[in-house]
């Protein structure tokens, strides 16, 4: 039985190889979707979902370029719907694992409604955390923070920890995990308001506005008189170079992202000039992606939900409403105008 609904989806119409993403690259397309056809087109197990929350994350910038540019993830296809981590409500199901009304999360189309394979979805427990938390506090940013800091970073009590982009979706959690593990932690952020947030809400020992500091080498020497044991790198570029001048023997550097360089073609990016410090200080610098640690999802969820129940973790979202706000939310991460993790709300009026 047909059940046609009006739908809107966000498509990539042109690659953005350099500079910011604009409305010349992303467009909203109006379509119609037959949710009554779920499971009847040769795809048993499909589920129709009404999107409620869509995650906006920096790594999506790399997927809007024509080449994979270092992340080795396939670029979005032109004139096709882009994808992101999302939370939605099941409105039709041909999968016995899901019933109408279930709240689910997955990585699928950035649209108001979507038909997705049930194998890529998981039910979420809204008694543990609110639905949007499964895009942040218990989602990919949290798995990234947890795996990068605890597994790659190998923290020890008393370690001196520096987190760049510390008010971002990953950084705010890294800092709190550092405190839970008994470390001293300092973060950098792009506004005085974010610095205040880090110290007063998230419990960082200290923080600074990198836009106000004219000499990052001197700033790090001031904030870390005993040097840096762990640098959780979200930005790359000049900040990484400054860190290497203040790094300790046997330090660890989990490379999570390089947001300061994403809008540039790779030949135009800042080249770090003091990598020899890695040799002399016997530093471990390791890139990672959270998908490497999906096999430890159970361990991650158990530890993080425990911290949530104990009141040890806080999280801040920067909520925008409607598909029209996606581009604004996306670019706010690169300008530093966001205050918390950007998420798009598509549900009924709150």
pLDDT tens for 116-147 read 998 889 999 888 899 999 999 999 999 999 99
- Are 287 and 322 members of one domain? no
Q: Are residues 212 and 328 in the same domain?
A: no
Instruction: Please check whether residue 301 lies inside any domain of the structure.
Output: no
- Does this model's pTM top 0.95? no
Does residue 192 lie within any of the structural domains? yes
Residues 20 and 52 in one domain: yes
> Using CA atoms, how far apart are residues 198 and 210, in angstroms rounded to an integer?
14
Closest CA to 106 of 135, 126, 143, 127: 135
Rounded-to-5 percentages of helix, strand, coil across the chain:
30, 30, 40
- Asked if 73 contacts 140 with a C-beta cutoff of 8 angstroms, the reply is no
**pLDDT of amino acid 221:** 97
> Measured between alpha carbons, how far is residue 276 from residues 108, 173, 239, 247, 272 in Å?
42, 30, 16, 12, 10
Are residues 150 and 248 both part of a single domain?
yes
Q: Are residues 14 and 95 in the same domain?
A: yes
In which band, very low, low, confident or very high, does the pLDDT at 260 lie, cut at 50, 70 and 90? Answer: low
CATH assignment of the domain containing 54: 3.90.180.10
Q: How far is CA 204 from the centre of its chain?
A: 20
Q: Does 94 reside within a domain?
A: yes
- The three-class DSSP label of residue 309 is helix
Q: Which residue, among 73, 85, 154, 148, has the nearest Cα to 114 in the 3D structure?
A: 85
**177 within some domain:** yes
Give mean pLDDT, residues 170-187: 98
CATH number at residue 160: 3.40.50.720
Judge whether 103 lies within some domain: yes
Residue with the larger pLDDT of the pair 310 and 268: 310
The predicted pLDDT at position 348 comes to 80
Number of compact structural domains in the chain: 2
Which residue range is the domain that position 282 belongs to?
140-292
Q: Supply the pLDDT for residue 38.
A: 85
Q: Which residue has the higher pLDDT, 236 or 219?
A: 219
Residue 158 lies in a domain: yes
Looking at the structure, tell me whether residues 72 and 198 fall in a common domain.
Answer: no
Residues 146 and 251 in one domain: yes
Span 60-114, pLDDT tens digits: 988 998 876 666 788 999 999 999 999 999 999 999 999 999 999 999 999 999 9
How many Cα atoms occupy the beta-carbon half-sphere of 1 within 13 Å? 2
The residue with greater pLDDT, 161 or 37, is 161
Q: Is residue 306 part of a domain?
A: no
Nearest to 81 by CA among 19, 34, 11, 133: 11
**Model confidence pLDDT, tens digit, residues 7-35:** 999 999 999 988 899 999 999 999 999 88
More confident residue, 195 or 337: 195
Residue 200 and residue 123 share a domain: no
Q: Is residue 323 part of a domain?
A: yes
Direct distance between the N- and C-terminal alpha carbons of the chain, in angstroms, rounded to an integer: 32
**Average pLDDT of the residues in 293-298:** 93
Strand partners, 233: 255
């Amino acid at each position: 039985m047909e059940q046609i609904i009006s739908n809107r989806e966000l498509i990539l119409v042109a690659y953005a190889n350099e500079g910011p993403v604009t409305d010349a690259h992303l467009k909203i397309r109006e379509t119609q979707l037959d949710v009554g056809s779920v499971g009847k087109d040769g795809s048993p197990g499909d589920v129709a979902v009404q999107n409620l929350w869509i995650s906006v994350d920096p790594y999506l910038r790399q997927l809007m370029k024509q080449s994979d540019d270092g992340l080795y993830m396939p670029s979005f296809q032109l004139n096709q719907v882009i994808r992101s981590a999302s939370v939605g409500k099941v409105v039709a199901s041909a999968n016995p694992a899901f019933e109408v009304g279930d709240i689910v999360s997955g990585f699928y189309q950035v649209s108001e409604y979507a038909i997705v394979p049930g194998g890529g979805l998981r039910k979420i427990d809204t008694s543990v955390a609110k639905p949007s938390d499964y895009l942040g506090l218990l989602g990919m940013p949290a798995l990234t923070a947890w795996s990068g800091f605890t597994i790659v970073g190998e923290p020890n009590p008393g370690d001196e920890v520096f987190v760049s982009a510390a008010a971002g979706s990953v950084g705010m959690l890294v800092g709190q995990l550092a405190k839970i593990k008994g470390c001293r932690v300092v973060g950098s952020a792009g506004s005085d308001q974010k610095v205040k947030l880090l110290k007063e809400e998230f419990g960082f020992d200290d923080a600074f506005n990198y836009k106000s500091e004219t000499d990052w080498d001197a700033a790090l020497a001031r904030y870390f008189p005993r040097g840096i044991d762990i640098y959780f790198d979200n930005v790359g570029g000049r900040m990484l170079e400054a860190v290497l001048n203040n790094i300790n023997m046997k330090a660890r550097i989990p490379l999570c992202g390089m947001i300061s360089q994403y809008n540039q073609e790779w030949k135009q990016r800042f080249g770090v000039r003091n990598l020899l410090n890695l040799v002399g200080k016997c530093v471990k610098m390791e890139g990672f992606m959270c998908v490497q640690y999906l096999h430890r999802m159970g361990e991650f969820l158990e530890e993080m939900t425990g911290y949530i129940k104990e009141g040890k973790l806080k999280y801040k979202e920067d909520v925008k409403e409607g598909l029209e706000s996606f581009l604004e939310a996306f670019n706010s991460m690169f300008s530093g105008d966001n205050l918390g993790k950007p998420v798009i709300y598509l549900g009924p009026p709150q």
